[in-house]
Amino acid sequence: MGLPDISTALLRIPGLLFAISVHEAAHGYVAYLQGDDLPKRQGRITLNPLPHIDILGVISLMLFGFGWAKPVLTDPRRYKNPRVGMGLTALAGPVANILSAIAFALILKYVGNYNLVSNRYVLAMLQQAYLINVYLAIFNLLPIPPLDGSKILFIFAPAKYIEFYDRFEIAGQIILIACIFLAPFLLSFILQPIAYVVINFINIILSLFP
C-alpha cells in the first residue's frame, strides 16, 4: 500500500478530525462519569478537534489511515475502582469509533440505496470517515503502551501488570513512531485482517436495517 494521492489525503481530513474528536471525547466523558472531572476542566470532553490533535498522529492518519490523538489526562485516584476505571475509560475511545463507523456505514447504505448524494467527493469523504473510524479503533486496541489496548488489560491483568506498564510506556511511544515507518507491514499483516473481521461484523449489523 503506497502513499495516497493529495486528493485522497485531503478527503480524509473531515473524517479523521471527527474520528479523533469522538475518540478522545469518549475517553473524557467516561472518566467524568466515574467521578474524574480532570478531562472536563481541561476542555477534552468536546467534539472540537483542536484540543485533541497530535500532529504526528494526524499526519499518520492522513497518510496511512491509522494514527492517534493527544491522550486525555485522567486522575484514576477519583475512580471507585481505579484499575477497572482506567480500563473502561480506555475502552470508550475504540467503542466510540466503532459506533461512529456503524453510523457512517448506515449513511452510506441509505445514500446508495436512495441515490441521495451524487457528488463523488462527498461520497469519498463518507467512505474515508467510515474506514478511518474502523482503523483508528483497531490500531488503538493494539496492546502497546500508551495505546488503549494496553490500558484495557488493566481490567483483567494482575497488579504487577501496572508496574510493567509504567516501566515500558516510553518504549511503547518509540514503537508508535516506528509504526509509521513500518506502515505497509502493519497494514497488510495486522490491521487489514482485523479490519476485515470488523467490517464483516458491521455488515451483519447493516443487514438488520431495511
Band of residue 33 on the pLDDT scale cut at 50, 70, 90: very high
Pick the residue with more confidence: 59 or 90? 90
Any idea which of 1-5, 56-60, 110-114, 157-161 has the lowest mean pLDDT? 1-5
pLDDT tens sequence across 147-171: 899 888 878 877 776 667 667 666 7
Contacts for 126 with CB less than 8 Å, ≥ 6 apart: 15, 104, 107, 108, 111, 117
| Identity at 105, one-letter amino acid code | A
pLDDT beyond 70 at 68: yes
Q: Mean pLDDT across the stretch 114-142?
A: 91
Catalytic residue flag (residue 169): no
Band of residue 1 on the pLDDT scale cut at 50, 70, 90: very low
Four-residue CA torsion sign, 77, 79, 85, 88: negative
Q: Mean pLDDT across the stretch 134-138?
A: 94
- The structure's pTM equals 0.88
Q: What is the pLDDT of residue 126?
A: 95
Burial pattern 119-144, b for ≥16 Cβ within 10 A else e, equals eeeeebbbebbbbbbbbbbbbbbbeb
Q: Of 16, 18, 24, 100, which one is the catalytic site residue? A: 24
pLDDT beyond 60 at 71: yes
Mean pLDDT of the chain: 87
